[in-house]
Every structure is written in structure tokens, then in C-alpha cells.
Amino acid sequence: MTVGLRGSALHIDVPLTNLVIDYVPDEYIVQDIFPIIPVQKETDKYFIWNQGDGMRIHDDIVGRDMRVKLIERGLSNDNYVCQPRGLGTRIYDLDMELADAVLDLKRADAELLMSSIFRGWESRAATTLQSTSSVGCSQTLTGATQFSAVNSGDPIGTILTGIETIEAAGITPDSIIIPKKVLRRIAQNNRFQAKTMYTKALFPGMERELVNVIGDATGLKNVYVPGLLKNTANEGADAVFGEIWSDNIHIFKKGTPGPRGNTAGYAYTFRLTGGVYAGRTLAVSSYRLAEENGKGIQLEVHLAQDEKVVGKAFSHTIFDCLA
């Protein structure tokens, strides 16, 4: 399978690739929700987590024959398939002649391309978490239970119920996603204020303080507050902006990539590092434009990946937090 790269026609700009490979645009959280596992193969089976097997107390007594009971992680019936993804832009010779530093110009354009790729990645992650088929359990709020019902909605109590639901499946979650507009409404909720009034006075604009209070009240160490928008209009049409994360809250166990694959967690991104990527998680390429396209270079960012839920039971979504 060819990974979207043009083989001998492609020139991988190694210095530029090394400069931008660790670039993470501000306000994006997808790299924490779907952390990257580098893989050498474009497609392969992947491990899934069975919390029942993981929590079973096994007979570990070794007899005189010195045989031990074997425990194996199950392989999924599905394969990851690293989908080639990439974007490009053109930098003309005149722009490079006028630039103070050509490398800085290339780097800025490469980071702009990466921001666009990240936005698509984050949107796919949000779509996954907002599907009941992709989470272990969920709750839909209505009317008086919604957090925008300032006198009856109970944000902390509802979140704690979600945590306990995941714990009943045998895993302790450590992370929560609360979209910005939901966080602001939580700050205005009377029941939330009553439970936190002895901590400090909290207002909708005090995002950092709100995050700390919610983390302390729920025991979740990672509190993410995304607020990204996306343009949902077709190319060429007037922009129509929509929220990527909607008004749902997501509680989950964050995975941690390790030298042998991964630890128990909700989801991972399998990112191809083999073949043309030569051990890197992405490649920046550049080549001269054909004369009819103008004098300059085309700059491209390439990667190949697949996002997979590997621990569905390690998640809980609270839908429709606001009216």
C-alpha cells in the first residue's frame, strides 16, 4: 500500500520535519484523548482491553512441574489501517526573497498545515465520543437535570455518578472533557456554587480556578476545556461555524503509550512511522513547482494514522448538559 507519498518525486525536508514534528497547536486536546502509538506496519491487529480478564484473580500457585498459568491479552477482530493524510501549500520565490528568514517562512506554513490536520483529527475524536456506540455508558440530561437549570441541575453529583458507573466496570477514570460553554454555565449553577462556596468565589470567566475546583471535587486529575470551532460550509461557500465538542461532557481513562504498545485506556491513534517516514511520526516534503504553476515550491505535510477505541468500557458520556 502506498502511503500518499510520491516516492522518488518526493523530497523530505529533514531539517524542517525535525523542527515541526513536535508542534502541537494551542487549544487542541486530541493528542491527549487519542495518544499516539508509533507503528511500523500500515495495517495490523491491535490489542483490546477486557476489564473482566484484567481483574480476574488467577490461580498463581506453581506446582512441582513448575508450570504457570498463562494469561494473554486478546487481539481484536478488527485491524487498524493507517489512512494517509496530508495538506499542502505553495510558497513562491518572491515571498522567499522578501522573507527575513526562508526557514521561518517554511516553518510557519508547515505549522499552519499541521493546525488544519489537527482540527480534523480533533473533530473525528469528538464525533467518536459523541456516539453512544463508542462509549461504555452514557446519560442524557433533560429539563430540570440539565446544568443550565440553575436551581435543580447538579453538575458535581452527575459527574460523580458517571465516575462510579465506570468504576463499576472495574476501572478508575482519570480524565474529563468539559466544553467551555458548559463550564461557564456550571459556574452559574446554584447547586455547584453551594458545594464549592467554601473553597472560593467562582465566576464564569475564572476558567483555571473552575478547573481546579472540579478536579478536586471529583478526583479527576486531567480536566480538559476545549472550545474549538469548525467551518461546516462547503469550500467556496460562506463560512458556517459550529462547535467541535458540542455541549456534552466526557469522562474516561486516559491511555499511556508504552514501549510494548499501551496501557489500559479509552483510545489510541496508531501513527505509521515505518517506510518513507523513517522512524518519524510525520514528514514535511517540498519540491519545485512546474513552470506553468509559477516559480516557487510546494510544501506538504504528510502522515498516516488510524484512531481506534481500545477500551470502550473505560468511558462515560453525559449528553445534553445544556438546554
List the chain pLDDT tens, one digit each, 323 residues.
344 454 444 578 888 999 999 999 888 999 999 999 999 999 998 887 766 665 677 778 887 787 887 776 665 668 999 999 999 999 999 888 888 888 889 999 999 999 999 999 999 999 999 999 999 999 999 999 999 999 999 999 999 999 999 998 888 999 999 999 999 999 999 999 888 765 555 565 678 888 999 999 999 999 999 999 999 999 889 999 999 999 999 999 998 886 545 577 899 999 999 888 889 999 999 888 887 777 899 999 999 999 999 889 999 999 999 99
| Sign, Cα dihedral of 156, 161, 165, 167 | positive
CA distance 7 to 5: 6
Residue type, 182: V
Q: Are 141 and 50 in contact (CB under 8 A)?
A: no
Q: What is the DSSP letter of 170?
A: T
Distances (CA, A) of 55 to 50, 52, 75: 9, 5, 18
- Rounded CA gap, 8 and 190, in Å? 64
Q: Residue length, the chain? A: 323
Find the distance separating the first CA and the last CA of the chain, reported in whole Å.
47
Q: What is the dihedral of CA 156, 161, 162, 167, to 10 degrees?
A: 130
In this structure, which amino acid lies at residue 237?
A: A
**163, 145, 203: which is closest to 321 by C-alpha?**
145
pLDDT at residue 173 in the model:
96
Residue type at position 72: E
Rg, Å, the chain Cα set = 23
What are the percentages of helix, strand and coil residues in the chain, rounded to 5? 35, 25, 40
Cβ pair 321, 143 in contact under 8 A? no
pLDDT at 248: 97
Amino acid at 158: T
Cell 510494548 belongs to 260
Reduced to 3 states, what is the DSSP secondary structure of residue 74? coil
What pTM was computed for the model? Answer: 0.87
Nearest to 224 by CA among 38, 36, 34: 34
List the helix and strand counts (H, then E) for the chain.
9, 16
Which residue, chain included where needed, has cell 513547482? 289
CB-based burial label for 189 (10 Å; 0-12, 13-18, 19+): buried
Q: Which domains does the chain have, with CATH numbers?
A: 9-48+79-130+227-242+262-312 (3.90.1690.10), 134-224 (no CATH)
